[in-house]
Homo-oligomer: A and B are copies of this chain.
Amino acid sequence: MNAPDPRLSINQATLKYADLATALRVTADAGVQAIGLWREPVHEVGLATAAKLLTDSGLRFTTHCRGGFFTLPEGPGRRAAIDDNRVAIEEAATLAAAGAEGSTAILVLVAGGLPEGSRDLIGVRERVRDAIGELAPDAAAAGVTLAIEPLHPMYASDRAVVSTLGQALDIAADFDPSVVGATVDTFHIWWDPDVLHQIARAGREGRIATYQVCDWKTPLPADVLLGRHYPGDGVIDFASLTGAVLDAGYRGDIEVEIFNEQIWADAPQHVVQRTVETFGSAISPLLGAPVDSAS
């Protein structure tokens, strides 16, 4: 097996049933250099312990997953969601400081769906903009970039009312690019007839906070959340998407984030190994020679 691509980052969701210590260990043991973490396993050990484990792992920290879920109307529920996002911003800053050199302080935002009983998609989408407006000063103060993630339109009602990269960029446009950007995840946007144009726009506007790859394949599983696959195992044209992301100037780490019951049932060491292999065959050849700013 070749050495893992230096730009590969394992998103912890890919190792759902591993605790934080295990996820860090199997990732580092495989020679992978970076990891994106999820809040729940961080909370299990506490932020201070998580930060220490991360430092000890020697891994770069790439994203914190995830904030958002702020589509409720004004009231205690919305206040609780905003406050929780403020905590997540602080976590992202702490973890980025604890990670190895080259770590990035990015909080991925999944907007949330229509509240129970609501059909007001347009109004709910405006609430997302308002929530980000509330959080932007906190993110700026903490040096954290909020990365709005458009989710596939099949999740528009129950998970994320932000459905396209263009829509995410329209929301981000009100804010400084260092504070509000977008998450570009192939699974969610590959189908979009406007996607290459929007990736180029995201680059021009300085908004590509993180690039995540996994594959799409049908038939979808009974739970459509769990239909993600290793890069190359499905139908996504990574060449055009990755080429557009590179052309847009993105030079950061690239996460693999997979939700898939079969993959989750596998041993985490083996999942990391398969991720290294599939990234190496499906993504690395598209990346060209590493960019060395000193050369």
Contacts and interface: CB of A to CB of B under 8 A. Distances in A.
Copies of this chain in its oligomeric complex:
2
A16 interface: no
A237 interface: yes
Contact of A121 (B121, B152, B217, B237): B237
A218 to B, nearest CB: 4
A267 to B, nearest CB: 28
Contacts of A234: 157
Given A167-B193, A193-B125, A154 B157 contact: no
3 tightest Cβ-Cβ pairs between the two chains A and B: A156-B191, A222-B222, A167-B193
17 contacts: A118-B235, A119-B236, A119-B237, A120-B237, A121-B190, A121-B237, A122-B237, A122-B240, A152-B153, A157-B216, A157-B234, A158-B218, A164-B194, A166-B193, A167-B193, A220-B224, A222-B222
Interface of A: 113-114, 118-122, 125, 152-154, 156-158, 163-164, 166-167, 170, 190-194, 216-220, 222-224, 234-237, 240
